[in-house]
Amino acid sequence: MKTRPLHTLGSLSIAFVLAWVASFPVPAKDSHFGEITFPNTTSGEGHTGGSTSLPALVGNRDRNDNFCLGFGDPIPDYILVLDEDVNQLAIQVDSQGHDTTLIVQGPDERTLYCADDTELGPDARLTLPEGKAGRYRIWVGAAEPGVNWTYKLSVEP
Threshold 0.75, pTM exceeds: yes
At 22 the pLDDT is 43
Evaluate if residue 24 carries a pLDDT over 60. Answer: no
pLDDT at 45 over 80: yes
CB neighbours of residue 28 within 10 Å = 6
Q: Report the percent of the chain where pLDDT is more than 70.
A: 82
| Residue 19 within a domain | no
Whether the Cβ atoms of residue 130 and residue 87 lie closer than 8 Å to each other: yes
**CATH code for the domain in which residue 73 is found:** 2.60.120.380
Work out how many domains the chain is built from and give that number: 1
Q: In 3-state terms, what secondary structure has residue 138?
A: strand
**Is position 14 within any domain?**
no
Say if residue 15's pLDDT is above 90: no
Range of the domain at 34: 27-156
In a domain, 74, yes or no: yes
